[in-house]
Amino acid sequence: MDYTSNEMMTVAAARALTSDDVCFVGIGLPSAACNLARLTHAPGIRLVYESGTLETKPDVLPLSIGDGELCETALVTVSVPEMFQYWLQGERITVGFLGGAQVDRYGNLNSTVIGDYRSPKVRLPGSGGATEIATGCRRIYIVMKQSPRTFVERLSFLTSLGHGPTGRERRELGVRTQGPTLIVTDLCIMKPDPETNEFRVTSIHPGVTRGQIIEATGWPIRFADDVDETPPPTAEELAALRDLNARTAKAHGTDGAVG
Protein backbone atom coordinates (compact mmCIF):
# COMPACT_ATOMS: atom_id res chain seq x y z
CA MET A 1 0.00 0.00 0.00
CA ASP A 2 1.31 3.47 -0.89
CA TYR A 3 1.82 6.01 1.86
CA THR A 4 3.90 9.16 2.38
CA SER A 5 6.79 9.61 4.81
CA ASN A 6 4.59 12.11 6.72
CA GLU A 7 1.90 9.47 7.11
CA MET A 8 4.49 6.97 8.36
CA MET A 9 5.68 9.55 10.91
CA THR A 10 2.19 10.31 12.21
CA VAL A 11 1.27 6.62 12.43
CA ALA A 12 4.52 5.73 14.23
CA ALA A 13 3.95 8.57 16.72
CA ALA A 14 0.33 7.51 17.30
CA ARG A 15 1.39 3.93 18.09
CA ALA A 16 3.43 5.14 21.08
CA LEU A 17 0.23 6.24 22.86
CA THR A 18 -2.06 3.98 24.89
CA SER A 19 -5.57 4.10 26.32
CA ASP A 20 -4.01 4.70 29.75
CA ASP A 21 -2.37 7.98 28.74
CA VAL A 22 -3.39 11.50 29.64
CA CYS A 23 -1.77 13.46 26.86
CA PHE A 24 -0.94 17.19 26.60
CA VAL A 25 -1.29 17.92 22.90
CA GLY A 26 0.33 20.59 20.72
CA ILE A 27 -1.06 21.79 17.39
CA GLY A 28 0.13 20.26 14.12
CA LEU A 29 1.85 16.88 13.97
CA PRO A 30 1.25 16.04 17.66
CA SER A 31 -2.47 16.77 17.33
CA ALA A 32 -2.77 14.52 14.28
CA ALA A 33 -0.89 11.68 16.00
CA CYS A 34 -2.86 11.93 19.26
CA ASN A 35 -6.24 11.97 17.54
CA LEU A 36 -5.22 9.11 15.25
CA ALA A 37 -4.34 7.07 18.36
CA ARG A 38 -7.75 7.91 19.85
CA LEU A 39 -9.53 6.86 16.64
CA THR A 40 -7.61 3.56 16.29
CA HIS A 41 -5.90 1.54 19.03
CA ALA A 42 -6.23 3.90 22.04
CA PRO A 43 -9.91 4.89 22.32
CA GLY A 44 -9.52 5.55 26.07
CA ILE A 45 -6.75 8.14 25.75
CA ARG A 46 -7.52 11.45 27.41
CA LEU A 47 -6.41 14.45 25.34
CA VAL A 48 -5.75 17.80 26.97
CA TYR A 49 -5.03 21.05 25.12
CA GLU A 50 -3.49 24.10 26.79
CA SER A 51 -6.59 26.18 26.06
CA GLY A 52 -8.13 24.38 29.05
CA THR A 53 -10.06 21.59 27.36
CA LEU A 54 -9.94 18.28 29.29
CA GLU A 55 -10.78 14.96 27.58
CA THR A 56 -11.59 16.54 24.27
CA LYS A 57 -12.66 14.41 21.29
CA PRO A 58 -12.48 16.67 18.24
CA ASP A 59 -14.06 15.29 15.07
CA VAL A 60 -11.67 17.42 12.97
CA LEU A 61 -8.15 18.60 13.80
CA PRO A 62 -8.14 22.10 15.26
CA LEU A 63 -6.34 24.85 13.33
CA SER A 64 -5.60 26.69 16.55
CA ILE A 65 -5.09 25.49 20.09
CA GLY A 66 -8.36 27.13 21.14
CA ASP A 67 -10.77 26.14 18.37
CA GLY A 68 -14.43 25.90 19.40
CA GLU A 69 -14.41 22.22 18.36
CA LEU A 70 -12.11 21.43 21.30
CA CYS A 71 -14.42 23.05 23.85
CA GLU A 72 -17.63 21.62 22.39
CA THR A 73 -16.31 18.03 22.49
CA ALA A 74 -14.54 18.26 25.88
CA LEU A 75 -15.61 16.72 29.17
CA VAL A 76 -15.02 20.12 30.74
CA THR A 77 -13.16 23.33 29.95
CA VAL A 78 -11.12 24.96 32.71
CA SER A 79 -9.34 28.31 32.77
CA VAL A 80 -5.81 28.62 31.44
CA PRO A 81 -4.26 29.31 34.88
CA GLU A 82 -6.02 26.20 36.23
CA MET A 83 -4.70 24.14 33.30
CA PHE A 84 -1.10 25.11 34.00
CA GLN A 85 -1.36 25.08 37.80
CA TYR A 86 -3.45 22.05 38.73
CA TRP A 87 -3.25 19.81 35.69
CA LEU A 88 0.26 20.35 34.28
CA GLN A 89 2.24 21.50 37.35
CA GLY A 90 0.16 19.11 39.46
CA GLU A 91 1.68 16.29 37.38
CA ARG A 92 -1.62 14.84 36.17
CA ILE A 93 -0.30 14.41 32.61
CA THR A 94 1.47 11.21 31.54
CA VAL A 95 2.70 12.27 28.08
CA GLY A 96 3.53 15.64 26.57
CA PHE A 97 3.87 15.71 22.80
CA LEU A 98 6.26 18.38 21.53
CA GLY A 99 7.91 19.57 18.33
CA GLY A 100 10.12 22.54 17.59
CA ALA A 101 12.37 24.18 15.04
CA GLN A 102 15.50 22.47 16.38
CA VAL A 103 16.30 19.44 18.55
CA ASP A 104 19.72 18.26 19.73
CA ARG A 105 21.07 14.79 20.58
CA TYR A 106 19.74 15.03 24.16
CA GLY A 107 16.21 15.98 23.15
CA ASN A 108 16.53 19.66 24.10
CA LEU A 109 14.24 21.83 21.96
CA ASN A 110 14.39 25.30 20.43
CA SER A 111 11.21 27.09 19.37
CA THR A 112 12.41 30.65 20.10
CA VAL A 113 15.01 32.02 17.64
CA ILE A 114 17.51 30.96 15.00
CA GLY A 115 20.70 33.01 15.42
CA ASP A 116 21.31 35.54 18.18
CA TYR A 117 18.42 36.27 20.57
CA ARG A 118 18.84 40.08 20.40
CA SER A 119 19.25 40.21 16.61
CA PRO A 120 17.77 36.96 15.38
CA LYS A 121 18.10 35.59 11.89
CA VAL A 122 14.64 34.07 12.30
CA ARG A 123 12.24 34.97 15.07
CA LEU A 124 10.14 31.87 15.90
CA PRO A 125 6.87 31.94 17.89
CA GLY A 126 8.48 31.10 21.24
CA SER A 127 7.70 28.76 24.11
CA GLY A 128 3.95 28.83 24.44
CA GLY A 129 3.33 26.00 26.87
CA ALA A 130 6.40 24.00 25.86
CA THR A 131 8.90 25.08 28.54
CA GLU A 132 6.81 23.72 31.42
CA ILE A 133 5.25 20.86 29.42
CA ALA A 134 8.84 19.62 28.97
CA THR A 135 9.35 19.31 32.72
CA GLY A 136 5.78 18.83 34.02
CA CYS A 137 4.64 15.74 32.10
CA ARG A 138 5.77 12.30 33.22
CA ARG A 139 7.51 11.78 29.86
CA ILE A 140 7.89 13.59 26.55
CA TYR A 141 7.51 12.35 23.00
CA ILE A 142 8.98 14.49 20.23
CA VAL A 143 7.71 14.39 16.66
CA MET A 144 9.63 16.34 13.99
CA LYS A 145 10.65 16.06 10.35
CA GLN A 146 14.32 15.19 10.16
CA SER A 147 16.93 17.33 8.39
CA PRO A 148 20.37 18.74 9.23
CA ARG A 149 18.70 22.12 9.88
CA THR A 150 16.31 20.66 12.47
CA PHE A 151 18.44 17.92 14.08
CA VAL A 152 21.41 20.06 15.08
CA GLU A 153 24.75 19.74 16.85
CA ARG A 154 24.03 22.91 18.89
CA LEU A 155 20.74 24.71 19.49
CA SER A 156 20.58 28.48 18.88
CA PHE A 157 18.45 28.71 22.03
CA LEU A 158 17.28 26.15 24.57
CA THR A 159 13.56 26.81 24.99
CA SER A 160 12.50 23.49 26.53
CA LEU A 161 14.68 21.19 28.57
CA GLY A 162 15.28 17.66 27.31
CA HIS A 163 18.06 15.80 29.12
CA GLY A 164 20.13 19.03 29.24
CA PRO A 165 23.16 20.32 27.30
CA THR A 166 25.33 17.33 28.38
CA GLY A 167 22.47 14.87 28.89
CA ARG A 168 22.76 14.99 32.69
CA GLU A 169 21.19 18.25 33.82
CA ARG A 170 17.64 17.12 34.59
CA ARG A 171 18.42 15.62 37.97
CA GLU A 172 20.82 18.45 38.90
CA LEU A 173 18.00 20.92 38.30
CA GLY A 174 15.68 18.92 40.55
CA VAL A 175 13.41 17.82 37.71
CA ARG A 176 11.72 14.57 38.71
CA THR A 177 9.97 13.69 35.47
CA GLN A 178 11.58 11.46 32.84
CA GLY A 179 11.96 13.92 29.97
CA PRO A 180 12.08 12.86 26.33
CA THR A 181 11.92 9.10 25.87
CA LEU A 182 11.02 8.98 22.17
CA ILE A 183 11.67 10.93 18.97
CA VAL A 184 9.65 10.03 15.89
CA THR A 185 10.67 11.46 12.50
CA ASP A 186 9.75 10.88 8.88
CA LEU A 187 12.78 8.55 8.62
CA CYS A 188 13.10 6.67 11.89
CA ILE A 189 12.42 6.26 15.60
CA MET A 190 15.03 7.26 18.21
CA LYS A 191 15.28 6.47 21.91
CA PRO A 192 17.81 7.69 24.48
CA ASP A 193 20.81 5.55 25.45
CA PRO A 194 20.09 4.49 29.06
CA GLU A 195 23.65 5.44 30.10
CA THR A 196 24.22 8.79 28.35
CA ASN A 197 20.69 9.92 27.38
CA GLU A 198 21.95 10.50 23.83
CA PHE A 199 19.24 9.71 21.28
CA ARG A 200 20.11 6.88 18.89
CA VAL A 201 18.16 5.19 16.16
CA THR A 202 16.20 2.14 17.31
CA SER A 203 13.88 1.61 14.34
CA ILE A 204 14.09 2.61 10.67
CA HIS A 205 11.00 3.22 8.56
CA PRO A 206 10.57 0.90 5.53
CA GLY A 207 12.60 1.95 2.49
CA VAL A 208 14.85 4.37 4.43
CA THR A 209 18.63 3.77 4.48
CA ARG A 210 21.12 4.40 7.28
CA GLY A 211 22.90 6.79 4.91
CA GLN A 212 19.77 8.96 4.58
CA ILE A 213 19.45 9.17 8.35
CA ILE A 214 23.14 10.08 8.78
CA GLU A 215 22.81 12.81 6.14
CA ALA A 216 19.66 14.18 7.76
CA THR A 217 21.24 14.52 11.21
CA GLY A 218 23.49 17.43 12.21
CA TRP A 219 25.41 15.37 14.77
CA PRO A 220 27.18 12.00 14.26
CA ILE A 221 24.07 9.91 14.83
CA ARG A 222 24.48 6.51 16.49
CA PHE A 223 22.44 3.37 15.85
CA ALA A 224 21.36 0.94 18.57
CA ASP A 225 22.81 -2.61 18.47
CA ASP A 226 19.47 -4.02 17.41
CA VAL A 227 17.73 -1.75 14.96
CA ASP A 228 14.20 -2.76 13.96
CA GLU A 229 12.29 -1.96 10.81
CA THR A 230 9.19 0.09 11.65
CA PRO A 231 6.09 -1.85 10.56
CA PRO A 232 4.45 0.08 7.69
CA PRO A 233 1.08 1.76 8.30
CA THR A 234 -1.80 -0.72 8.25
CA ALA A 235 -4.81 -0.21 6.01
CA GLU A 236 -6.87 0.68 9.09
CA GLU A 237 -4.35 3.26 10.32
CA LEU A 238 -4.08 4.90 6.89
CA ALA A 239 -7.83 5.00 6.38
CA ALA A 240 -8.40 6.61 9.79
CA LEU A 241 -5.66 9.20 9.21
CA ARG A 242 -6.85 10.07 5.71
CA ASP A 243 -10.46 10.37 6.86
CA LEU A 244 -9.37 12.67 9.67
CA ASN A 245 -7.33 14.85 7.30
CA ALA A 246 -10.16 14.97 4.75
CA ARG A 247 -12.72 15.99 7.40
CA THR A 248 -10.28 18.63 8.66
CA ALA A 249 -9.61 20.08 5.19
CA LYS A 250 -13.34 20.26 4.52
CA ALA A 251 -14.08 21.94 7.84
CA HIS A 252 -11.34 24.57 7.54
CA GLY A 253 -11.71 25.15 3.81
CA THR A 254 -7.96 24.68 3.52
CA ASP A 255 -5.42 21.95 2.94
CA GLY A 256 -5.74 20.58 6.45
CA ALA A 257 -3.32 17.69 5.98
CA VAL A 258 -0.58 17.85 8.56
CA GLY A 259 0.44 14.22 8.73
Distance, in Å, from the CA atom of 194 to the CA atom of 159, rounded to the nearest integer, reads 24
Would you tell me how many other CB atoms lie within 10 Å of the CB of residue 207? 11
Least separation, in Å, of the C-beta of 11 and another protein? 22
Least separation, in Å, of the C-beta of 117 and another protein? 5
Provide the phi-psi class of 157: left if phi over 0, else alpha when psi is between -120 and 50, else beta.
beta
Closest CA to 242 of 24, 21, 39, 52: 39
50 classed as catalytic: yes
| 3-state SS class at 238 | helix
Of the pair 59, 228, the CB lying nearest another protein is at 59
Distance, in Å, from the CA atom of 28 to the CA atom of 1, rounded to the nearest integer, reads 25
Contact indicator for 159, 117 with CB cutoff of 8 Å: no
Of the pair 27, 190, the CB lying nearest another protein is at 27
| 3-state SS class at 217 | coil
Of the pair 42, 158, the CB lying nearest another protein is at 158
Least separation, in Å, of the C-beta of 38 and another protein? 19
Least separation, in Å, of the C-beta of 201 and another protein? 25
Cα distances (Å, whole numbers) of residue 225 to 94, 104, 196, 199, 231:
29, 21, 15, 13, 19
Parallel, antiparallel, or unpaired for β 109-110 and 102-103?
antiparallel
Of the pair 68, 148, the CB lying nearest another protein is at 68
Least separation, in Å, of the C-beta of 44 and another protein? 24
Contact indicator for 141, 184 with CB cutoff of 8 Å: yes
Distance, in Å, from the CA atom of 151 to the CA atom of 217, rounded to the nearest integer, reads 5
Phi then psi for residue 44, to 5 deg, are: -90, -5
Of the pair 42, 155, the CB lying nearest another protein is at 155
The contact set with another protein (CB under 8 A) reads 27-28, 50-53, 62-68, 70-71, 77, 79-81, 83-85, 88-89, 108, 112, 117, 119-120, 123-132, 135-136, 157-161, 164, 169-170, 173-175, 252-254
Parallel, antiparallel, or unpaired for β 180-184 and 139-143?
parallel
**Catalytic residue (choose from 50, 69, 132, 198):** 50
Which residues are the active-site residues? 50
